[in-house]
Chain A
Amino acid sequence: MFRAALLALLFALSARAGADEALVAVAANFARTAEALAEAYEADSGHTITISSGSTGQLYARIVQGAPYDAFLSADAERPALLVETGQAVSGSRFTYAVGRLALWSADPDRIGPDGAVALSGGFRFLAIANPRTAPYGAAAMEVLEALGLTDAVADRLVTGGDVGATYAFIASGNADLGFIALSQLPDGQGRAWIVPEALHAPLAQDAVLLSRGADNPAAVGFLAFLRSDEARAVIEAAGYGAGDRE
């Protein structure tokens, strides 16, 4: 038994020989999709991808402080561009891997009707959004409220999660009556959602960039290339995103 296990381990290790590892920082809204993509990529390439997720602002702050990430999948275009500008990311490596969609979601199916704006102007205790200062989905949610003229009306009922994952927990637990999350986060058959019309906020172009640390890392370079493949684009679209740039 022990011998068999040892043999299996040796085989696994030898299969990995020559394979590289990359640590990829991923915006919270895309974490689950990125895990699925990483698995597919690992099976194809033999490389290993490790995902570390957080709010875009949180990850950006860590990268600026020298965190050991090889690539960055942001929820905006602005921060990857800044990293290229300041020389912390490889110039020319930036591309849009997905276009995010915002959803207003409640765990209570009766709270949201066909027009989410009605639910937003109605009586509720708390509306959850991701922190607009660090999370692009939170910033987009603020734009939606502004476009609907509800910013002041909801101001004192607004609670913020550190990223869309924490925001999801506030809503799923029922502590917040409703809130803005990524369309890709919506659970099957729980509660009800209103997919926010894209006209109500600036497009959530989500850019990826190769960080300087990962410039010569085949696993990181390969994973970013994989994100532009038809296979990956199909996974990304199925998860609830608009497709990004092609190969």
Chain B
Amino acid sequence: MTGPILLTLALASVTTLILMALALPLAWWLATTHSRIKPVIEAVTALPLILPPTVLGFYLLLLMAPASPVGGFWLEVTGSTLAFSFTGLVVASVIYSLPFAVQPLQAAFERVGTDMMEAAASLRARPLDAFLSVALPLSARGALTAAVLSFAHTVGEFGVILMVGGNIEGRTRTISIAVWEHVESLEYAEAHALSAGLLVFAFVTLIAVYALGRGRMLHVR
């Protein structure tokens, strides 16, 4: 039973780290740009909120196939396929949870406002310096919310993993997949143990999120 739990925690941790690295610059750009393609990028970022996991899973399955350009390239470079692997789940989770990282960060950056950044610039702070010493500290709550939501949303992922994971013990059988399999096999005691754990985890996480930023981002959905 600990197998799926450890795997899920590992998946959520790696996904959150990658997401934060991607989302910080992306959210900053979205918060400050006046580009005309901003709505397009925002829409792409928010797509995983709207699309059913089956749609994402189906396209990812096709994309990861050795015969597709992406899957073929990956196979050539790494020697292994993306589908049915931990790496594949990380890729899927990063896409699936992207809005949960970007949106709280973008909102926080937008609240910092241009005045603060201009003040920093007038004190001769370089843009990166101003970002690191002014914008980021002021957005710490938003960043923490983004990280917590990314982690939690990845823990709760099911449909995409079901479609590209292949249910391999120790590699792709996450908690949600294990619960599903237990229920289908009428092993309700095992399903209860994992489900109750997840329920408590989700509740505690949400309390943390609401305490952090009064859950502003959750109203957006």
B-binding residues in A (CB < 8 A): 55, 57-58, 60-61, 64, 125-126, 128, 131, 133-134, 158-162, 166, 169-170, 173-176
A175-B65 contact, Cβ under 8 Å, with A131-B167, A162-B162: yes
Chain A: CB-nearest residue to B162: A162
Contact yes or no, A161 B184, CB < 8 A: no
A133-B66 contact, Cβ under 8 Å, with A159-B166, A175-B84: no
Q: Pick the residue among A61, A126, A128, A169 that contacts B183 (CB under 8 A).
A: A61
Min CB–CB distance A129 → chain B (angstroms): 10
Chain A: CB-nearest residue to B88: A175
Query: Is B31 an interface position by the 8 A CB rule?
Result: no
Query: Is B62 an interface position by the 8 A CB rule?
Result: yes
Query: Is B64 an interface position by the 8 A CB rule?
Result: yes
Query: Is B110 an interface position by the 8 A CB rule?
Result: no
Contact yes or no, B167 A160, CB < 8 A: yes
Interface of A is mostly: mixed
**Bound CA span A61–B183, Å:** 8
Chain A: CB-nearest residue to B75: A125
Question: Interface size class for chain B?
Answer: 20 to 34
Min CB–CB distance A55 → chain B (angstroms): 7
Q: Pick the residue among A159, A166, A173 that contacts B62 (CB under 8 A).
A: A173
Residues on B with beta carbons closer than 8 Å to the beta carbon of A128: 166
Query: Is B20 an interface position by the 8 A CB rule?
Result: no
Contact yes or no, A174 B183, CB < 8 A: no
**Bound CA span A55–B168, Å:** 18
Considering only residues 52-90 of chain B, those with a C-beta below 8 Å from chain A are 61-62, 64-67, 71, 80-81, 83-84
Q: Pick the residue among B163, B167, B184 that contacts A61 (CB under 8 A).
A: B184
Query: Is B185 an interface position by the 8 A CB rule?
Result: yes
Interface pairs A-B: 3 shortest CB-CB? A159-B166, A175-B83, A174-B65
Contact yes or no, A126 B186, CB < 8 A: no
**Bound CA span A58–B65, Å:** 27
Min CB–CB distance B74 → chain A (angstroms): 12
Residues on B with beta carbons closer than 8 Å to the beta carbon of A133: 181, 184-185
**Bound CA span A133–B185, Å:** 7
Contact yes or no, B64 A175, CB < 8 A: yes
Q: Pick the residue among B67, B80, B180 that contacts A174 (CB under 8 A).
A: B67
